């Protein structure tokens, strides 16, 4: 009986994998399939960026033996110059929710139309971009201390979606209905780099922390985001709070000379009916519509040129500080 049950589960997983879009199959974490969808995304402020070269990776619900648990959002050094993070997402297929693992690549691919906030609006990424060997930050949607990090620009993102919710999965009842765009399909065929060791350790630490279980925190984890991977206490760690109209915007950038209001940079606008804004509705404050809506590795040409053209430190150099402590 046990053998037949295992064979049935394996069959469901294989069927689910083939039922998914082809660009997503390589991203599926085989063995993680659930019949109950994950909770809504919690609302939380973004910790201030840890230093030059760090890229924001949004929090997400993972699944373990005790059920869903929250993996806090955190700032992570890119594994190589030019790489951007495509978040993972839960997708409904073959009667189960299957986890599509995130990855690093030259462009941001499909992540289910989930609005994770802080530049991940559901389509592409507008929180920052590479300019040669330097990563620049869009201060409209990321929390950056501009007296420390000088590679910045400001392009306000306006999300015109009117439905407010925090759905965290694609497909199924109540999920987003987004499908991969041509640009996202092209990104799926590029060479990808898996999550770094620091990201793996970060998820493992979350898995072993009972306070992060959805059954314990009821969707509002006390550790919603951290300044560095694996750092779950101390300064910079932020908690989730009740949803409000202004939820999940970054705090006013410290010492920033340009504090334009950012829209569309927070989870509540993952629209289950009209999953993501089209490029036509994702407007910016720039005079020319050339913002990298789909994870371009260059900043918009009309954005202010980064103030500091020194290369961002390579992750192996140890700057801006040791991680995971």
The burial class, CB within 10 Å (0-12 / 13-18 / 19+), for 233 is exposed
Q: Is 157 helix (H, G, I), strand (E, B) or coil?
A: strand
pLDDT at 318: 33
Residue 255: other Cβ atoms inside 10 A = 10
Q: What is the DSSP letter of 120?
A: B
Per-residue pLDDT at 242: 80
Q: What whole-number distance in Å separates Cα of residue 86 and Cα of residue 39?
A: 20
Are 68 and 77 in contact, with CB atoms under 8 Å apart? no
C-alpha angle 122/124/129, rounded to 5°? Answer: 135
Q: How many CB atoms lie within 10 A of CB 234?
A: 10
Nearest residue to 58 via CA among 99, 119, 13, 15: 119
pLDDT tens digits in sequence order for the chain, 325 residues long: 444 434 443 444 434 444 444 443 334 444 467 889 999 999 999 999 999 999 999 999 999 999 999 999 999 999 999 999 999 999 999 999 999 999 999 999 999 999 999 999 999 999 999 999 999 999 999 999 999 999 999 998 876 554 557 999 999 999 999 999 999 999 999 999 999 999 999 999 999 999 999 999 999 999 999 999 999 999 999 999 887 544 444 444 444 433 333 333 333 333 333 333 333 333 333 333 334 444 545 444 444 444 443 333 333 333 333 333 2
How much is the pTM? 0.71
Of the candidates 30, 51, 127, the one whose C-alpha atom is nearest the C-alpha of residue 85 is 127
The confidence score (pLDDT) of residue 212 equals 98
DSSP string of 193-235? BPPPHHHHHHHHHHHT-GGGBHHHHTT--S--EESSTT--SST
Q: What pLDDT does 161 receive?
A: 53
Angle value at C-alpha 81, between 306 and 110, nearest 5 degrees: 95
Per DSSP, the three-state class of 297 is coil
Query: What are the sequence ranges of the domains in the chain?
Result: 2-308
């Amino acid at each position: 009986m046990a053998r037949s049950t295992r064979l049935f589960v394996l069959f469901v997983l294989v069927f689910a994998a083939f039922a998914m879009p082809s660009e997503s199959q390589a991203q599926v974490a085989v063995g993680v399939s659930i019949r109950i969808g994950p909770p809504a995304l919690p609302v939380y402020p973004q910790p201030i960026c840890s230093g030059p070269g760090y890229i924001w990776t949004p929090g997400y619900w993972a699944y373990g033996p005790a059920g869903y648990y929250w993996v806090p959002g955190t700032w992570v050094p890119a594994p190589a110059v030019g790489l951007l993070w495509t978040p993972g997402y839960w997708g409904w297929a073959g009667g189960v929710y299957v986890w599509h693992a995130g990855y690093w690549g030259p462009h941001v691919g499909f992540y289910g139309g989930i609005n994770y906030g802080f530049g991940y609006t559901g389509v592409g990424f507008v929180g920052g971009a590479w300019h040669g060997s330097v990563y620049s930050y869009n201060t409209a949607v990321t929390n950056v201390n501009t007296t420390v990090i000088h590679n910045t620009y400001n392009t306000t993102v306006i999300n015109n979606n009117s439905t407010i919710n925090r759905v965290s999965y694609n497909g199924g009842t109540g999920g987003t209905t987004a499908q991969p765009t041509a640009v996202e399909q092209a990104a799926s065929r590029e060479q990808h780099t898996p999550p770094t060791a620091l990201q793996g350790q970060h998820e493992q630490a979350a898995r072993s922390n009972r306070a992060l279980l959805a059954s314990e925190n009821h969707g509002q984890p006390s550790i919603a985001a951290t300044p560095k991977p694996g750092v779950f206490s101390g300064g910079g760690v932020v908690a989730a709070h009740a949803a409000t109209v202004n939820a999940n915007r970054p705090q006013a950038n410290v010492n920033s000379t340009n504090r334009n209001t950012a829209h569309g940079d927070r989870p509540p606008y993952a629209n289950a009916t009209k999953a993501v804004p089209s490029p036509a509705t994702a407007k910016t404050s720039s005079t020319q519509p050339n913002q990298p809506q789909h994870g371009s590795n260059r900043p918009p040409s009309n954005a202010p040129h980064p103030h500091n053209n020194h290369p961002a430190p390579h992750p192996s150099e140890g700057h801006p500080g040791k991680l995971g402590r």
